[in-house]
Amino acid sequence: MTTNTTHFGFKQVATEDKVNLVRGVFDSVAGQYDIMNDLMSLGIHRIWKRVAVQLSNVRKGEQVLDLAGGTGDLTTLFEKRVGPEGQIVLADINSEMLRTGRDRLIDRGLVGNIRYAQVNAECLPFEDNTFDCVCIAFGLRNVTDKDAALRSMHRVLKPGGRVIVLEFSHPVDKITEKVYDFYSFKLLPKIGKIVAKDEDSYRYLAESIRMHPKQDELKKMMENAGLERCEYFNMTQGIVAVHRGYKI
C-alpha cells in the first residue's frame, strides 16, 4: 500500500501526520511568538502586516476572517477598520495560539466584535458567502493542502470579497537570497534556542519558508481556486509578499 507524503520543512512525512507535527511546533513557540517575530524580522513584520491590511480595503461594517490569526496582530488592525458595526473572526488550527491571541485581545479591551474559532483552513466550517475579506498571514505555508485551503477561502467569501495572503516568499535578487539564507539557517535556529528554548521549531520555520510556492506559482494556485484579478506585491526585496484575489 502506498502512503501519501508531504513536506514538513525539508523532510518528507506521511500526509496525515503533518497537522500534528505543525501543531507541536506552534504549541512550543506560542508563548514567545511575538517576541520571536520581532527578533526574526527586526520589527519589520509590523509594517508588513499594516501593508496587508491596507491592501485588503476592509471598511466599516464588514465581516473579516483572520485565518491562522495566532496572537491577534491582524485582528487588532482589522478591528479598527470594521468598527463596532463589523465583525472579525480570529481563527487558528492551534488551540495554544488561539488562546494566546484571545487573552491578548481581551487585555487590550477588544471584546465587542471579535469571535474565536479553532478551524482547519482546508475545510472552513462557515456558510458560503459569509465574509467580505479572508486574510491568512504567515500561515498558508504550514497548511498541508494549500489548494483545498484556497478553495475553501473562496467559498466562504461574498461576491466582491477578497482573499489576502501575507507570507514569507522568495527574494528577487541573488545578494538578498544569500544573506537571507545565512540568516535563516545559521542564525535563526540559534536565536530560537536562546529565546524560545526551541532550536528545532525555528529550523522548521526557516525550511517551511523555502518550501512555500514562489510568487507566480501561488498566484496561479489562487486563480485555480476560482479567485480573479489576482496579483502580488513584493516587500523587502521579495522576502515577503502580499497576494490578493477577488471573488467575482
Residues belonging to the binding site for S-adenosyl-L-methionine are 71, 92, 120-121
Q: Position of cell 487585555?
A: 107
**Helices then strands, each counted (H, E), the chain:** 10, 9
Closest CA to 150 of 132, 130, 136: 136
Q: Which residues are 53's β-sheet partners?
A: none
Q: Annotated binding residues, as ranges?
A: 71, 92, 120-121
Q: Position of cell 465587542?
A: 112
What is the DSSP code string of 142-202?
A: G-S-HHHHHHHHHHHEEEEEEEEEEEE---SSHHHHHHHHHIIIIIHHHHHHHHTS-HHHH
CA dihedral over 62, 68, 72, 73, signed as positive or negative: negative
Structure-block grid coordinates of residue 198: 526551541
Q: Which residues are 12's β-sheet partners?
A: 7
